[in-house]
């Protein structure tokens, strides 16, 4: 049996991971969520969440590590990834860390260094790499069907995530707002697609959406120029209406010299309308990206299949995000340090 511990249920994905791990053959799962101070009233965390999912629970991280996990999933608040990752490294346990890797480059570098020194694997949760739609884009680019890629326009819009977890709009714990939350998914795909070096970033943000509710940025447009000549723009805004029946999505348009491609990572759905609930419905039929990602993390990638991004690549995308904040602040393009 492969023993996997989920450390912290702060991130909204923790419950999904617990469910998937519980159902995976050959996997034994344990949850632990001792630091629930960031939770708003009504957020189900800790032993209660574990019990509702029928997952064994440890009251402390000490207990969770004493259980002897083969791997851990770190689902704490963005700014609290580092201590758990460093602890896993010290215990010699492989880590899958939620994105973004950290809220500062210094934290990210320390986490990568700790895992490298300990010889443990640091993987970062970017499930969209496992999207068949993205795989089709990657095949087309790798085969040369697109020719040289000129521009990539991406949008990763979601609703304001604070209803499920309040800390997502806490400047300290989340490291910012939409820019921190939603830039990295598309930046990671682009990192994987080209292996190119980002040279410069320009970003503009505002908090005109939910202005009275949060002081972090809720809208952002990020433009990144890469050393292969490609220009990538990312709309990272939490601009999907909160009352909409879906959470949002991720789309990309790739303009090459020989072909233009469009992908939608989450629109493998039947759309309709429920008279009973008086709202639109979406019935997804696509593959479960989280499940594919967890499987690849625990058992290795499928032949020719995607791998979970490592700490180094997550650090590259984090550098884009931190430079974006500088650009949004100064109103000028900012070079990306390496």
Partner 1 sequence: MPPLSIGLLGAGGIARAHLPGWLALGATVSVYTQDGSAEKLAAEYAGRGHAVTAVPTLADLLDRCRAVDICTPTPTHGELALAAIAAGRHVVCEKPLALTVREAEEVAAAAAAAGVHLHPAHVVRYFPAYATLRAAVAHGDLGRLAVLRFTRGSARPQWAPWFGDPAQSGGVLLDLMVHDIDIARWVAGEVVRVHALTRGAERATGTPAEVVAATAVLTHASGAITHVSGLWGLPDQPFRTTFRVAGSDGLLHHDSAAVPGFRITAQGVRAPNEGIPSTPMTESPYLTQLREFAASWDDPGLVPRVGAADGVAAVRVACAAIESSRTGRAVDLPAEQKESAC
Cβ neighbourhood burial of 307 (10 Å; 0-12, 13-18, 19+): middle
Task: Indicate whether 307 belongs to the interface with partner 1 (CB under 8 A).
Answer: no
Is 86:116 a contact under the CB 8 Å cutoff?
no
- 29 three-class SS: strand
Angle, in degrees to the nearest 10, between helices 178-194 and 132-142: 40
Single out the residue of 91, 104, 153, 246 in contact with partner 1 (rule: CB under 8 A): 153
Single out the residue of 62, 145, 172, 211 in contact with partner 1 (rule: CB under 8 A): 211
User: Which residues neighbour 321 within 8 Å (Cβ) at sequence distance 6 or greater?
Assistant: 100, 176, 179, 180, 183, 184, 187
What does the buried/exposed string (b/e) look like for 196-226 if buried means 16 or more CB atoms within 10 Å of the residue's CB? Answer: bebebbbbebebebbeeebebbbbbbbbbbb
**# binding residues, partner 1 (CB under 8 A):** 40
Region near partner 1 per CB under 8 A, out of 77-85, 125-133, 289-297, 328-336: 328-336
In angstroms, the CA 156 to CA 294 distance is 22
Region near partner 1 per CB under 8 A, out of 26-34, 228-236, 269-277, 294-302: 228-236
Task: Indicate whether 150 belongs to the interface with partner 1 (CB under 8 A).
Answer: yes
Shortest Å, Cβ 150 to partner 1: 4
Q: Which one, 144 or 241, has the nearer CB to partner 1?
A: 241
Region near partner 1 per CB under 8 A, out of 19-27, 128-136, 198-206, 313-321: 198-206
Task: Indicate whether 160 belongs to the interface with partner 1 (CB under 8 A).
Answer: no
Shortest Å, Cβ 233 to partner 1: 5
Tokens of 103: 């809220």
Concatenated DSSP letters for 46-62? HHHHHHHHT--EESSHH
Region near partner 1 per CB under 8 A, out of 103-111, 132-140, 164-172, 230-238: 230-238
Task: Indicate whether 221 belongs to the interface with partner 1 (CB under 8 A).
Answer: yes
Is 202:223 a contact under the CB 8 Å cutoff?
yes
Instruction: Show the binding pattern over residues 3-42: x = contacts partner 1 (CB under 8 A), - = does not.
Output: ----------------------------------------
Q: Which one, 49 or 179, has the nearer CB to partner 1?
A: 179
Strands, E assignment, the chain: 2-7, 27-32, 57-58, 71-74, 94-97, 122-124, 149-158, 198-206, 219-226, 231-235, 248-256, 260-264, 269-274, 279-284, 334-335
Task: Indicate whether 246 belongs to the interface with partner 1 (CB under 8 A).
Answer: no
Task: Indicate whether 196 belongs to the interface with partner 1 (CB under 8 A).
Answer: no
Task: Indicate whether 219 belongs to the interface with partner 1 (CB under 8 A).
Answer: yes
Tokens of 259: 């072909």
Task: Indicate whether 241 belongs to the interface with partner 1 (CB under 8 A).
Answer: yes
In angstroms, the CA 96 to CA 94 distance is 7
Shortest Å, Cβ 281 to partner 1: 18
Contacting residues toward partner 1, per CB under 8 A = 150-151, 153, 155, 157, 200, 202, 204-206, 208-211, 218-221, 223, 225, 229-231, 233, 235, 237, 239-241, 244, 253, 255-260, 331-333
């Amino acid at each position: 049996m492969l023993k996997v511990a989920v450390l912290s249920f702060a991130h909204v994905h923790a419950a999904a991971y617990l469910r998937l791990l519980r159902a995976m053959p050959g996997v034994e799962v344990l949850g632990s969520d001792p630091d629930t101070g960031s939770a708003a009233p009504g957020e189900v965390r800790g032993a209660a969440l574990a019990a509702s999912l029928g997952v064994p629970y440890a009251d402390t991280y000490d207990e969770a590590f004493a259980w002897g996990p083969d791997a851990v999933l770190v689902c704490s608040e963005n700014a609290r990834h580092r201590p758990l990752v460093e602890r896993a490294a010290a215990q010699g346990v492989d880590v899958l860390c939620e994105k973004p890797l950290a809220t500062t480059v210094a934290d990210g570098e320390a986490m990568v260094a700790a895992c490298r020194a300990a010889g443990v694997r640091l993987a970062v949760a970017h499930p969209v790499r496992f999207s068949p739609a993205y795989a089709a884009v990657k095949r087309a680019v790798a085969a040369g069907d697109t020719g040289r890629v000129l521009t990539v326009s991406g949008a990763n819009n979601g609703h304001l995530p604070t209803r499920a977890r309040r800390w997502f709009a806490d400047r300290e714990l989340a490291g910012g707002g939409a820019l921190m939350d939603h830039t990295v998914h598309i930046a990671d795909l682009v990192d994987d697609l080209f292996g190119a070096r980002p040279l410069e970033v320009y970003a503009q943000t505002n908090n005109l959406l939910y202005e009275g509710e949060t002081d972090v940025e809720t809208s952002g447009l990020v433009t990144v120029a890469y050393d292969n000549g490609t220009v990538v723009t990312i709309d990272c805004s939490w601009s999907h209406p909160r009352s909409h029946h879906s959470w949002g999505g991720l789309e990309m348009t790739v303009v090459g010299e020989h072909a233009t491609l469009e992908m939608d990572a989450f629109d493998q759905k039947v759309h309709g309308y429920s008279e009973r609930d008086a709202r639109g419905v979406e019935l997804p039929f696509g593959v479960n990206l989280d499940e594919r990602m967890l499987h690849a993390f625990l058992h290795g990638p499928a032949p020719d299949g995607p791998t979970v991004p490592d700490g180094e690549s997550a650090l590259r995308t984090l550098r884009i995000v931190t430079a974006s904040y500088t650009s949004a602040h100064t109103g000028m393009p900012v070079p990306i340090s390496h």
